[in-house]
Amino acid sequence: MQKKAYEVLLNAHEAAIASLKPGNKANVVYKSAISIVKRDAPEFVGSFAKTAGTGIGIEFRESVLGLNAKNDRVLMAGMVFNVSLGFQDLQAQTTNIKTEKFSLLLADTVIIGEKLPEVVTSINFKALEDVAYERSKAKDESKSIVGSLLKATLRSEN
């Protein structure tokens, strides 16, 4: 379930970024993201963020530039946004009470270009295999954890 949730969230995040174009309304960004969730994982809709992010300007969060379903402000080239999408309180398939609920969040800083959005934080890896690892159920879990952490550490140095 965690893998599916992450992949759906990544697709929604990419759709939100792709819709940051001059002339679009701010609500199109959120609607693009939620449409991916509705199509690919309708069971997650209730846990989806109520906003796709916010504008960055003089203030860290420009209140008039929220990327939500109600904002009809027209986007312009040069505007900067913190695109931030997530799921909250998803139920994991586990019997362990400590890990039964989980949340996910993806965020990028994006500048609206004349034709295409520029993702300032694009150097960061977001593919599932780049950001996640699983613990094996082997007797000596410490070796698999160290190997996985080493892999994650090496990827983050790129």
pLDDT at 129: 67
Tens digit of pLDDT at every position of the chain (158 positions): 778 888 999 999 999 999 999 999 999 999 999 999 999 999 989 989 899 999 997 776 667 788 999 999 999 999 999 999 999 877 777 777 766 788 889 999 999 999 889 898 876 666 666 666 566 555 444 444 444 444 444 444 43
What was the pLDDT predicted at 111? 94
Give the pLDDT score at 101: 80
Residue type, 31: K
Tell whether the torsion through CA atoms of 62, 66, 71 and 76 is positive or negative: positive
Find the helix or strand (DSSP H, E) in which 33 lies.
helix 26-40
Is the pTM for the entire model greater than 0.85? no
The structural domains of the chain, ordered by start, are 2-123 (3.90.230.10), 125-158 (no CATH)
* Dihedral sign from CA coordinates of 77, 118, 107, 121: negative
Residue 63 CA to residue 38 CA, distance in Å, equals 27
